[in-house]
Amino acid sequence: MRLPLLSLALTLHLLPVHSAFLFNIPLLPRSLTAEPSPVTNHTLNALRKSAIVSAFNHSWTGYSTYAWGHDDLLPLSQSFSDSRNGWGATIIDSLDTAIIMGLPDIVRKQLAWIKTVDFTQTKDDEDVSLFETTIRYLGGMLAAHDLLEGPYNDLLPAAEREYALTLLKFQSKSLADSLTYAFSTPSGIPHNHLKLNHQSWLRTDRTTMLAQAGTLLIVFTLLLEWTRLSDLLSLPTYANLTLTAQSHLLNPVPINANLTAEPFPGLLGTTLSIRSGKFLNAQGGWGAETDSYYEYLLKTSLYSPSRFSHLQQKWMQAVDSSIHHLLVHPSGHPDVTMLGQYYKNETDGQGSHLACFAGGNWILGSYALKNNTILDYGKKLTEGCHYASLATKTGLAPEQWLLDVQTHISPREAAFVKAAGFRVTNPSYSLRPEVVESYYYGLVLTGKEKYREWAWEAFQSMEKECKVATGGYAGIEDVNIVGGMGMDIMESFWMGETLKYLFLIFEYGDGEKVSVKPEDGWVFTTEAHPLKVVG
């Protein structure tokens, strides 16, 4: 899930957690450079996998008790919020996680809920994000269908499974049908901020720019899910809607002669005109509002090479430009590599937790395309995000950081900046998955056990800092304050992405039924929903 973190007003401390049993499971010493000894003990991985399932159940208990039917659990206040249309985002986003973990009782409750949802209406006429609705709801239902039809077809009795498959297809179509009007624009670039109850979009003075422009992320990130829906239903309509918008990205044109739509080959601006399809700026990177574009260049080509193999060349071009122009290093740590951003043809040192998916994405691309140069850089980027995690007192990477350490350093920051070589500009951690996502790709596609150990380090930090005794997990305001104040929200991606990646990490090599190896026939969406490859 790839959008910038919203600022929250936070006032409550995390409740104490008693999870000492987790710390009795062996952990290899923390080290940035040392390669841990290979873990061959299946019992150890089974214990760790069980701990991840316990975390999912603890999250489910909190959600079911205090937030059932709503989008998010507010674990500290034992309440709820509806940030994603009020359709039960946590239920639907985590459905495929429950399937993969083999939890049929929870799956039945999730399916029963999906049957009740009216995807044509929102309760309070909320602002509906086309992007978030696609990746959390549509992607979640499509993945659940593919898993139940395929490797997890024994999770439910046959008649129950067949009913579930029909339900998931019906509701996926219903949801997509309610969103298709967003594409009714002169350029085919869809509006993102919708008012479903009136089949309109947001047009207030405050959001004029949002009503007139679409981001790179919105334009392209619908391609994979909407194409999968078309393939599943044998109805090309949904895929065709996204293809019109796609043409503006593959052949970018700036809004005027003073602007370039492609500051570096393959690296585009962020914002396009909905009216003309032309680019309105020349800034971006692999972080918020652009990341899933680059992610889906590769993944869509793997989903259907017969239709989208041309996207691999675009992805390769973007990676090559990133290697030559966007790689940055913390001050005093030339051996640590991270990704910066760009404004026109200048690079800055802004890093983010969101961009930490790139290491895994590059490892996946290197594996699929047999490119050792990209593999080396993918591993370096993943190590860079591990470094950002170890640098903090909690062991969790912050939301955003800056490698320019020469300006505006407060006395409070000085010691950290001197040691780490970067400044933390947004110190929060919101239960994001991107760091462990890259650990998962690293483990599966390189076979290196260090990624499994790094994932266990991360999970122990989450248990210690984020677990709420009454149910659920909460993000933290400042990764450099141990036991600090908590963010009173558990977004759906915690159960839909973070815990899924962690579970698959400890299941890998012990009978996993789905993986990200291209030859296994699955591709994971930007929200970690596995879709069956069609070729």
Residue 70 per-residue DSSP state? S
Quote the CA–CA distance of 140 and 210 in Å, as a whole number.
Answer: 26
The beta strand positions in 140-244, using DSSP E, are 193-195, 200-201, 213-215
Question: Which residues pair with residue 80 across a beta bridge?
Answer: 73
| Annotated active-site residue in 72, 291, 478, 491 | 291
Dig out the tokens for 249 from the structure. Answer: 């990205």
Annotated catalytic, 491?
no
120 is in an annotated binding site: no
449 tagged catalytic: no
Q: Are the C-beta atoms of residues 223 and 299 closer than 8 Å to each other?
A: no
Going along 274-421, which residue ranges are E strands? 283-284, 327-328, 338-339, 341-343, 346-348, 350-352, 400-402
Please name the residues in contact with 441: beta carbons below 8 A apart, sequence gap of 6 or more: 359, 360, 361, 363, 364, 382, 516
Taking alpha carbons only, the member of 397, 392, 292 closest to residue 338 is 397
Structure tokens at 309: 């193999």
Look up 126 and say whether it is catalytic.
no
Q: Helix, strand or coil for residue 193?
A: strand
Q: Which of 93, 132, 289, 507 is catalytic?
A: 132
> Among candidates 527, 492, 497, which has minimal Cα distance to 225?
527
Burial class (CB in 10 A: 0-12, 13-18, 19+), 323: middle
Q: Which two three-digit tokens encode residue 193?
A: 């901020």
Which residue is catalytic, options 96, 289, 434, 491?
Answer: 434
Structure tokens at 16: 């104490």
DSSP per position, 433-468: -HHHHHHHHHHHHH--THHHHHHHHHHHHHHHHHB-
- Please identify which of the residues 126, 289, 399, 465 carries the catalytic annotation: 399
Q: Give yes or no for a contact between 354 and 439, defined as CB atoms under 8 angstroms apart.
A: no
- How many angstroms separate the CA atoms of 200 and 396, rounded? 40
Tokens linked to 504: 């698959």
CA dist 378 and 360 (Å) reads 6
A 10 A CB-CB count for 464 gives 18
Candidates 135, 252, 234, 127; CA nearest to 189 is: 252
The number of C-alpha atoms within 13 Å of 202 and in the hemisphere containing its C-beta is 20
The secondary structure of the chain in percent helix, strand, coil, rounded to multiples of 5, reads: 50, 10, 40
Would residue 434 show up in a list of annotated catalytic residues for this protein?
Answer: yes
Annotated active-site positions, please?
132, 291, 399, 434
Which residues fall in the annotated binding site for Ca(2+)?
526
Which residues fall in the annotated binding site?
526
